[in-house]
Amino acid sequence: MADRGASFKRDLSEWRIALVAWRLLVLQAADPVVGAGMAEHSTYRAHPWRRVEHTLGSGRRLFYQDAEALRREVARLNRSHKRIRGTLPDGRPYDARDAATRVWVLLTLFECVVAMRRLGGDPYDATQLEAAYREFREAIAAFELPEEELPRSAAELPRYFARYARERLEFTEAARYLLNDILREAPRPRRLWFLGDAGWRVVRAAVARVIRELTVADLPPVVRERLGLVSSRRAALLSVVLHRGVGAVVPLLPDGLRYRSAEEVRRPPRRFRPAGDARGSRVDRFFREVLDQTGDGCITVHDLKAMAHNVCWQLELSEDAEARVYRAFEDWWEQLRAAMDADGDGRVSREEFTAATLAGCDRDADYLERGLLPALREVFAAADTDGSGFLEFDEYRAVFGGPRVHPAELSHGFRQLDGDGDGRITEEEFLRGFTEFFTARADSTAGAQLLGRP
């Protein structure tokens, strides 16, 4: 096989990185801090594909763009991680800003690229490995991580991984769910709309089994031992066949097919559901697909924080502006809890939400004026970057667009909100459209895209 050199960024952009993607997620989730953050603050259960999209998008900004884009992405991540903290089930505090955890998360990305090449039959030699590690270190310098936490050279990585695995890693609930359950329950990706729900269930079961066996086989032995996992001979054979087979084919492809381009593949517009659903069915679906962001069957403050995160993620906001968005969504949660938490347990179940909504609690003036509407006003203010009092299409696209949004769908959402058809959205039009959406009285392309579809 021809020598491809040692470019970490180039190797990271190969499509075959998908073969080690789940391995990467499990390695990261096995850190107790990451696992706890995923359990309490992440939307990965309800919206796994959006979570993957955010992760890949962040990686592109970290490794493939200019210094200014890198600086902004690091600032975005720092603001986001500042809010991810709490207490582990055993009482230990956790904080996503923990330096050792951040180093682990970043190094797992480098290690997975190294593993991809090794498993594919074209491993880095010692010189190439050090060159790739230097390239990686240059890219992550913007994080200003403590030097003592980072291995000084690639040659030290195996020792670092062994020590970290034995001292820090656990088979967290998040890692267990990623490995055993999430792919058996994951909603159909929108790009696979042609499979239908029945076809997706069949494909999903087969894919879940293959990915689990491949992931366990590919994990570093010290990690498998730490997590109590055993790889079968069949899984080991599957790993060899897949990695070597793809590793032999990929180098023969032209660069346009071999590497991910910056432009994502577009998919057909969404097939919208008919508007004739019964009110109860609409409310139930709205709870599951929109409000229950963390996918745990109830609404808590974490779901509203996840919504705020998804709004802020799309925009380049100042720390003060981002804090206002989060504060508004937390206030919305307090009003939602007060109106709908019938048993006072600090969360709103699907049954409580459905009963309260059908009874009209979501239209209560106090709930709207002190909860939902202030949150929507902050979203509008954040999106109105030029302060004109209107959302022009470019401003709308910054919040509601993205690589997964078909242009026709984007235009449709804009027209839904632009009630008078003058080519711009007023705050009144924005509030009216989203009030209908968040009270589960109308479908909205814009609303669904803002908070993420399954």
Mean pLDDT along residues 253-265: 67
- Place 358 in a pLDDT band, splitting at 50, 70 and 90: confident
pLDDT at 280: 62
Of the candidates 245, 229, 175, which has an alpha carbon nearest to the alpha carbon of residue 19?
245
pLDDT at 2 over 50: no
- Place 1 in a pLDDT band, splitting at 50, 70 and 90: very low
- Place 56 in a pLDDT band, splitting at 50, 70 and 90: low
Residues ≥6 apart with Cβ < 8 Å to 351:
none
d(CA 9, CA 52): 19
How many C-beta atoms surround the C-beta of residue 1 within 10 A? Answer: 10
pLDDT at 3: 45
pLDDT at 426 over 70: yes
Greatest mean pLDDT among 226-230, 299-303, 335-339, 361-365:
226-230
In a 10 Å sphere around its CB, with 0-12 CB exposed, 13-18 middle and 19+ buried, how is residue 81 labelled?
A: middle
For 390, phi then psi, to 5°, come to -135, 155
pLDDT digits (tens, 9 = 90+) for 331-344: 988 888 888 888 88
Residues ≥6 apart with Cβ < 8 Å to 431:
373, 376, 377, 380
Mean pLDDT along residues 412-420: 80
pLDDT at 275: 39
Greatest mean pLDDT among 195-209, 221-235, 261-275, 416-430:
221-235
pLDDT at 434: 81
For 85, phi then psi, to 5°, come to -155, 160
What mean pLDDT, rounded, does the chain reach? Answer: 82
Mean pLDDT along residues 427-453: 68
Q: What is the pTM of this model?
A: 0.64
- The per-residue DSSP string of 245-310 comes to HHHHHGGGS-HHHHB--SSPPP-PPP-PPPTT--HHHHHHHHIIIII-TT-SSEE-HHHHHHHHHH
Q: What DSSP designation does 319 have?
A: H
| Six-digit token string for 148 | 């003592």
Cα of 1 vs its chain's centroid, Å: 36
| Six-digit token string for 257 | 């097919």
Q: What DSSP designation does 187 have?
A: P
pLDDT digits (tens, 9 = 90+) for 194-215: 888 889 889 988 999 999 999 9
> What is the radius of gyration, based on Cα positions, of the chain?
23
pLDDT at 258 over 90: no
pLDDT at 273: 40
Q: How many CA atoms lie within 13 A of 18 on its CB side?
A: 10
In a 10 Å sphere around its CB, with 0-12 CB exposed, 13-18 middle and 19+ buried, how is residue 355 labelled?
A: middle
d(CA 73, CA 64): 12
DSSP3 helix / strand / coil % (the chain, rounded to 5): 70, 5, 30
Domains and CATH numbers, the chain: 8-258 (no CATH), 279-451 (1.10.238.10)
pLDDT digits (tens, 9 = 90+) for 133-157: 999 998 888 888 999 999 999 999 9
pLDDT at 65: 67
Mean pLDDT along residues 41-68: 69
Instruction: Report how far apart, in Å, the C-alpha atoms of 8 and of each of 17, 248, 420 are.
Output: 12, 19, 51
pLDDT at 18 over 70: yes
pLDDT at 183 over 90: no
